[in-house]
Structure 1
Amino acid sequence: MFIFIAKERSFMKRWITVSALIFILIFSVRAKAEGVKPEVHFMDIGQSDCILIKGEKNYLIDTGLPRTQDKVIHYLDSKDIDNIEDIVITHYHDDHYGGLEKILSSKKVKRVILPKHQQNYRDYIFSYLKDKNTKIDYIDSSYSINEKDINLKVILPEKEDLDIENNNGIVMCGTIDSLKYAFMADAEKEREKDILKNKEISDCDIMKVGHHGLDTSSTEELVRAINPRVAVVTCDGDESPSESVINRIKGNKTEILRTDKLGSIIIRKGKKDKEVEIMTSKMIE
């Protein structure tokens, strides 16, 4: 009898242990599925842009300069980013497309989205992507990112600007985990006027300040219309940002976050409705 009970207890103990492990595994998988909280990462790579939208799928807006490509890869590695759904190149300046080759050779990228206007660098990038057998799409107004808790649309220029490439850039806006974002690329004042005229953008929680905070962009009218609670400036602290732009945004009672002062900046929704949670690499260090 003692042996039987001992065996029964041993079996029950094993069954409870196995059941507990199965429960832990199921709970872990479910927690992982439910716990993917979208974040936006503004990388500290000087006067250039590379923005990671991290969620159940990952997206990049621009890729930085050629000289910052190793820093971008290191950052992506540190966040365990191996797969990227789309890379959106906003326009054909090398501080936005310069890290593309290195990212493609280091990460699994499903697709690259390019502006469709004719440009010498477009042909160069297209040839390279073709050689790498990378899927390429030229953007149109129907492009959007619609994933769990991420809904972004594009604002395209009315016509090509033959003089100022910045005005041909892809502006993106929409919600990420119920926070409203405006990613202004390098859009300059004339492009901003068109956006305001067409009422394509309004109150946002977070604005990625156009053209690294230089005085070519971020007019008082635009800042008032977007009325951001937080403005992120991707800048080097030397050539950018312009003091006049910083003062203009401060005058709107907006919190300013600068990559030259804070390092890489991570933004996500806090626990309360419309609460903005901010982390910076210098805080983490």
Structure 2
Amino acid sequence: MNYTIAAIVPALALAACIPGEIRNSVAEQEEGTEAIRFGEVSFIQLAPGVWQHTTYLDLPGFGPIPSNGLLVVDGDHTLLVDTAWTDFQTEQILRWAEQVQARPVRAAVITHAHRDKMGGIAALHQAGVDTWAHPLTNALAPENGFQPAKNAILFTDDGWAIGDAAIALAPLRIYFPGGAHTLDNITIGLPEHGLAFGGCMIKDSKARTLGNLADADVENYASSVRNFSSAFPDASIIAMSHSPAEGRKAIARTLDLANDL
């Protein structure tokens, strides 16, 4: 085996969500936007009080790989959807929320147990942020080298978060569509903003593949995408982990790819 490739393969496994196709470059990720840079983090406003945070992991042979999450204003505080790749980057997200927005992060939800989604969870715990995740995410986290979230989210049989999580994470609407990119992937809706976050399950409208399927629920991927679409029928802004936000054509393209599995 080529030794360069041999060195990259473990890194790809660690990154977990990186697909079989090359992701958007930094320029493509932020082209046409009014991105605000703060240290290693970029922030783009998707809706009033809703910001997308983007951080990059530089992999040899692949370049900087973007990963997106959300910051959502809730009164005098903000809610965080997913960490950055690293603790250091996540600390910068927390600092931006507190120092620039004057709304410190009070709680965070993790959408699955991969590095691009919870690689910075230790920084959240160090800062005293209340963290939430699917029970399976918490079970898988130590196996992947991460601290589990402090709290497990309870879901109804039809996939909606209930109980303490629904209260603590409001106004976020937390929805488990079923297994797709991973068995534990959850999604987020903000109905008042016409926005939904599909995480790593949803790919952009020009995607050629569904990316890394190593931990995927291939059999149920398509049905889970349909569930996501039905859960947030009025969402016109579809945000996702590794591409810029766009319209519902991203869901349609993802479903086309999933139907071909």
> C-alpha deviations, 1:228-261, integer Å up to 9, x for none?
xxxxxxxxxxxxxxxxx9xxxxxxxxxxxxxxxx
How do residues 78-97 of structure 1 correspond to structure 2 at under 5 angstroms? 78-84=100-106, 86-97=107-118
- Equivalent residue number for residue 182 of structure 1: 196
Instruction: Compute the TM-score of the two structures, normalised by the length of structure 1.
Output: 0.48
- Give the counterpart of 1:204 among 235, 238, 249: 235
**CA shift in 2, pair 1:121/1:196, >3 Å:** closer
Structure 2 residue 120 is the aligned partner of structure 1 residue 99: yes
> C-alpha deviations, 1:65-107, integer Å up to 9, x for none?
11523432332232223351x210000111111112113223x
- Equivalent residue number for residue 69 of structure 2: 50
Q: Distance in 2 between matches of 1:172 and 1:202?
A: 13
Alignment RMSD: 3.9
**CA shift in 2, pair 1:70/1:172, >3 Å:** closer
Structure 2 residue 251 is the aligned partner of structure 1 residue 222: yes
The number of equivalent residue pairs is 171
Q: Secondary structure at the match of 1:102?
A: helix
**CA shift in 2, pair 1:153/1:38, >3 Å:** same
**CA shift in 2, pair 1:40/1:82, >3 Å:** same
Q: Which structure shows the bigger proportion of residues in helix conformation?
A: 1
- Equivalent residue number for residue 113 of structure 1: 132
Structure 2 residue 166 is the aligned partner of structure 1 residue 137: no
Instruction: Compute the TM-score of the two structures, normalised by the length of structure 2.
Output: 0.52
Q: What is the letter of the counterpart of residue 194 of structure 1? A: S
- Give the counterpart of 1:64 among 76, 84, 99: 84
Bigger radius of gyration, 1 or 2? 1
Q: Secondary structure at the match of 2:68?
A: coil
- Give the counterpart of 1:153 among 169, 173, 185: 173
Q: Distance in 2 between matches of 1:104 and 1:119?
A: 14
> C-alpha deviations, 1:258-278, integer Å up to 9, x for none?
xxxxxxxxxxxxxxxxxxxxx
**CA shift in 2, pair 1:180/1:118, >3 Å:** closer
Q: Distance in 2 between matches of 1:105 and 1:93?
A: 20
Structure 2 residue 184 is the aligned partner of structure 1 residue 168: yes
**CA shift in 2, pair 1:72/1:181, >3 Å:** same
Percent identity, aligned pairs only?
A: 15
Any gaps of 5 or more consecutive residues in structure 2? 1-46, 57-65, 203-209, 211-219
